[in-house]
Amino acid sequence: MNPGPLPLPEACAATLSAIEADPLEPGPAAEAHLKVCTACAEARVCFLAQEDSADALAPAGYFERLPGRILRKLPPRPALRHRLGPLGWAAAAALLLAVGTGAFLAGRANRTPYVEATLPRQPDILELSTIDTPFHNREEEAAQVQALSPEEMKALLKRLDAAPAPTR
């Protein structure tokens, strides 16, 4: 169990109350105690750090002249025309010409051909085959065959025998 904070000695309590009243001028008795007790000296420093101080004011025109002062301290930068001589400009022009020519020729190489391959012409009338029809119900065909009369059935068989076999 923690009984709470430890009690302060009377000299420290009196010094802390003097520091709370005025951290700049706590009095001669408190200053004598501050020379001996480091905990009370640290407490005085904390109180002094919490004191409000007036903001330092900048002189008139300080921020308006600041960019000019900074630029004067920087070394001057040479112009681009002085750094890039005639040989550099010639190399840049040659590189630009090479890239342009390469892009032009690459575009010509990937054109669509003049002659395109086509499939042979299909007959206009195609026989529709129900054999390859996906999801076709085969029961409908069987029902149609079963519904034929005996004469129609014989005619259908003769026609199927006479028809050539389909090739795949």
User: 130 or 27: which carries more pLDDT confidence?
Assistant: 27
Task: Quickly state the pLDDT bin for 132 (edges 50, 70, 90).
Answer: low
pLDDT score of 148? 83
Please report how many Cα atoms fall inside a 13 Å half-sphere around the Cα of residue 49, on the Cβ side.
6
Average pLDDT, the chain: 80
- For residues 93 and 142, what is the distance between their CA atoms, to the nearest angstrom? 81
Has residue 33 got a pLDDT over 90?
yes
Question: ∠ CA(49), CA(51), CA(55), 5° rounding?
Answer: 100
Write the DSSP symbol of residue 7: P
Coil, strand or helix: which one is 5?
coil
Q: Give the model's confidence band at 28: pLDDT under 50 very low, under 70 low, under 90 confident, else very high.
A: very high
Check whether 131 has a pLDDT greater than 70: no
Q: State the Cα–Cα distance between residues 139 and 55, nearest whole angstrom.
A: 99
Give me the helices (H) in 22-149, please.
Answer: 28-36, 38-50, 62-73, 80-83, 86-109, 138-146
Total residue length of the chain: 168
Tens digits of residue pLDDT in 141-157: 777 777 888 898 888 88
> What is the distance in angstroms between the CA of the first residue and the CA of the last residue of the chain?
98
15, 40 in Cβ contact below 8 A?
Answer: yes
Q: Cβ–Cβ contacts within 10 Å for residue 71, how many?
A: 9
pLDDT tens digits along 68-126:
999 899 888 766 656 677 888 899 999 999 999 998 888 777 677 666 777 776 665 55
